[in-house]
A and B are shown apart, each in its own frame.
Chain A
């Protein structure tokens, strides 16, 4: 039992690193990037090319692909998101969904339907395990992924709250007009934020490629996991994403315990429960507000 809980926590680490880029982009730009999953898969292919085809060690390939994706993120903002977010609220959703369709099918055309993995790049690590007190064995890799998730969230939180760049990003996200009046180049700031979100996606891509395998159409599933983790965690700081990711993993493990095919169903149900619960909380708040007004 405790082994299952620990494994769910570790799986939660993976979902957290998957969701962080999406949550970051939403919190600083109010854009739900429906191409998030597909961009992570693109990064995974990038790592595959760097690692397998060019023979670059993974420790070098990750920062390299991060830099490439950062640049791509800046271009994505300049070329698509800036235009889309200037129009109606629907446009960013429509444009990023269209982008996901393009990316998925392009990747299929270029790389074919084969599933690929990065596991061979790290040799033993992909199956090595460590013993925890109480005779519990856990995969070494999933521990590293959890550590990476905590590190990524920590770094992003420090950037947002402690650096001048972070304050500029916050200013742009909260009040774009005022930010511009202070001399902040809002377009450039938003482009950098998009770049950061995509660079974080490379860490997620590395985690995905090392712990399992992916195909060209795997982006949709990753987007759903990421989104479910965010909704279950609730809005606020990025640390809530970590909590939501753990809860998602618990729900999936519980689902798998009930039925052999219940893994995904458990996660989806947890998402629905979170949606329901939040609607209820929202109604309570409204009625509390109403009664306060009547009392006054």
Chain B
């Protein structure tokens, strides 16, 4: 039984199809990367899985439980968490208050504000700072911490490295590896293909709402990923 089991998801923006028939599974303690160009439908796919966007078809199971008909907050309470693009912290609230909001899922688990500060030592001194005053990297850490506070079984992260300095990206990925080692299933949207190739347990490349390529990182190359994200099929050669 996979932690996150997504089958044949379809979603659209009006008449524009954003995701057509995407399926995948993420096991506990594994990191699945979702890559693709802007407009490939990655963000919509994540929001649809989280229940924040209307779903046109398909099923979503979380640890075997069908959550397809649940609204977003019930999916969160079932253990599915989304760290949205741009982090979406509450800027006037302090770091601690933002983290505490993450506990709104009322789930049992190991995470508390103190446990988050142990995992992200740089956050402790920012305890009482308004989240809006933090750097991008610190905000990303708070956003991941806020997701953990809900004691989820699976976390989806949208555009992890967007707008972060290289050092901050490195910190964020260190944190993600810790999260993975804690046995949480991770679904990560990442535009940086080199990074995806380096960190992923498994990779999916999307283009125009479709899956173009699915591979283990050891069995593919950067060129193949680039080519797939431009919409070329698995067997087509890049015209170089």
Contact = CB atoms under 8 A, between A and B. Distances in A.
Q: Report if A and B associate in a common complex.
A: yes
Interface of A: 164, 167-168, 170-171, 174-175, 177-186
A177 B77 CA distance: 15
Contacts of B102: 182
A118 B100 CA distance: 44
A89 B91 CA distance: 25
A184 B52 contact: no
B104 interface: yes
Interface string B69-91: 00111001100011010001010
Interface in B47-106: 50-52, 71-73, 76-77, 81-82, 84, 88, 90, 92-93, 97, 100-102, 104-106
A66 to B, nearest CB: 26
B42 interface: no
Given A181-B52, A181-B84, A183-B76, A168 B90 contact: no
Interface in B119-178: 146, 150
A247 B104 CA distance: 40
Contact of A171 (B50, B81, B84, B101): B101
A180 B101 contact: no
A168 B88 contact: no
Contact of B52 (A164, A174, A177, A185): A177
B150 A170 contact: no
B52 A183 contact: no
A183 B93 contact: no
Given A170-B93, A175-B90, A181 B100 contact: no
Contacts, number: 58
Interface residues of B, number: 24
A186 B90 contact: no
Contacts of A181: 50, 52, 72-73, 76, 81-82, 84
Contact of A185 (B51, B73, B92): B73
A184 B72 CA distance: 9
Given A170-B90, A171-B90, A180 B77 contact: no
Contact of B100 (A164, A178, A180): A164
Given A167-B101, A168-B101, A180-B52, 14 more contacts: A164-B100, A167-B93, A171-B93, A175-B88, A180-B71, A180-B73, A181-B50, A181-B82, A182-B101, A182-B104, A182-B150, A183-B104, A184-B104, A186-B73
A32 B177 CA distance: 47
Nearest to B105: A183
B156 to A, nearest CB: 10
3 closest cross-chain pairs (CB), A and B: A183-B105, A183-B76, A180-B72
A206 B50 CA distance: 46
16 contacts: A164-B100, A168-B104, A170-B90, A170-B93, A171-B101, A174-B90, A178-B90, A179-B101, A180-B52, A180-B72, A180-B76, A181-B76, A182-B73, A182-B76, A182-B150, A183-B104
A178 B82 CA distance: 9
Contacts of A177: 52, 72, 84
Contacts of B97: 167
Contacts of B90: 170-171, 174-175, 178
A167 B52 CA distance: 21
B111 to A, nearest CB: 13
Nearest to A166: B97
Contacts of A167: 93, 97, 100-101
Nearest to B81: A181
A167 B101 CA distance: 7
Contacts of A171: 90, 93, 101
A168 B98 CA distance: 10
Contacts of B81: 181
A134 to B, nearest CB: 43
